[in-house]
Amino acid sequence: QRVRGLLQPGERLMPAWKLALPALLLALGGLLAQAQAKVNAGGEAGDETESAVLAALPQPAASAPEAVASSASAAQAVLQAASPAAPEPTAVLAAPARPTTSGWRLPVNARHAVVIEEGSGRVLMAKDADEPVPIASLTKLVTAMVVLDARQDPQEQLRIADEDVDRLKHSASHLKVGSRLPREAALKLALLSSENRAASALARAYPGGLEAFRLAVRRKLQGLGLQHTVIQEPTGLSPENVSTASEMARIAAAASRYAEINAITSASRAKVPVNGQAREFHNTNRLVGRKGWDILLSKTGYTEEAGRCLTMRMKEAGKAVTVVLLDADGSAQRLKDAAAIRRSLGR
C-alpha cells in the first residue's frame, strides 16, 4: 500500500515477475556460460595435444619387468631391445594382400591399421587394412623414392616457385616463394617436416617435369605390385592420393631400402640451408628421438579427408616391425595408438 501511495495518477504497479525478469536472465546467462565452459573443457580433454600425451608416456625403466606389463611402461617396450641390424624388409613386400591377425585385438583409434613383423612377414594386427583411403603426406615416401631413383645432383639449387604454393588446402609453409635450397635440403624438408612446397619443387625439377614425374610414380607403384595405391601429385594434399594400410606397409618397406630416407626420417631434427642460411627443422613425428623409442623410418600425414596418419619401422624386444595407422581422430590419438602397439609388442 505504501508503494502504491507513491505512484502518480494513472501509473500501475509492475507485476513482480517482470521486476525479477532481468535478474533471471542474468542468472540464466551465467548458467549457460558455465555449461559452455564445461563443453569447451571436454572438447580439449578429448583432443589432447601431442605434448600432453608425450608427457604421459613413461621413460624406460632399467629394471622392473612389471613396468613393461603396465599400460604406461609397456608403451616404451616395443622398440628399445631389438638387434642393431634391421632385418631385410623383403618379407614385408611379400606380405599377403589380405592380412590376417595373429591374435591381437587392440582398440586402436585409427580406422585402418596394420602391424607386420619384418623378416617373417607375419601380420600381427590388421584393422580394415585393405580399404583404399586418402594417405595425405605419407605420399612423400613415394615422392622421395622416385626423386632418388633419378640420381640427380643433390647439390643443385632448387627455387620455390608460385606453382609450389598450396591452393587446394592453403597449408602453411616455412619456404617463401623465391627461396632457394639444394635438392638434398628440399628432400629433407619434404620428409622430416613434411614441407609441401619442397615436395612440389622436387617433382617440378624431376627430369622431364611433372608429367615425367607422374609417369615415374606410376611405374614405381606397378613395380611394387600395388593394386590399390594411386598417387596423383607429390605432396599428399589431394584426397585422390589413396592407398591401403597393407600397401602402405609395403611402401614403407621399399622406402627403407634407401639410406637417405632412413637417415632423414629417423632424425628428430635437422639443420637445412635455405637461401644460404642454416635453419633448424623438426620431425613431425615427435616419437622420433624420444628416449626408449628406436624408430628406423617414419612419416606422418594429415588432411581433413585422411585424418591423422602414420607409418614407421621400429625395433623393440628383438622384433622389427612396420606400423601403419590411417585416419586417426587426432595427433594425440595417433600417439596413443603407437604406444598401445608398442605395449603389445613388449609383452
Spot the catalytic one: 73, 179, 193, 194.
194
One digit per residue, the tens of pLDDT, for the chain of length 347 reads: 444 444 455 555 555 545 556 555 555 555 444 433 333 333 323 345 666 666 566 554 433 322 322 333 333 332 333 333 333 333 333 333 344 444 567 789 999 999 999 989 999 999 999 999 999 999 999 999 999 999 999 999 999 999 999 999 999 999 999 999 999 999 999 999 999 999 999 999 999 999 999 999 999 999 999 999 999 999 999 999 999 999 999 999 999 999 999 999 999 999 999 999 999 999 999 999 998 899 999 999 999 999 999 999 999 888 899 999 999 999 999 999 999 999 888 77
Spot the catalytic one: 140, 188, 220, 299.
140
171 is catalytic: no
Spot the catalytic one: 137, 173, 246, 266.
137
344 is catalytic: no
Pick from 87, 86, 194: which is nearest to 144 by CA? 194
194 is catalytic: yes
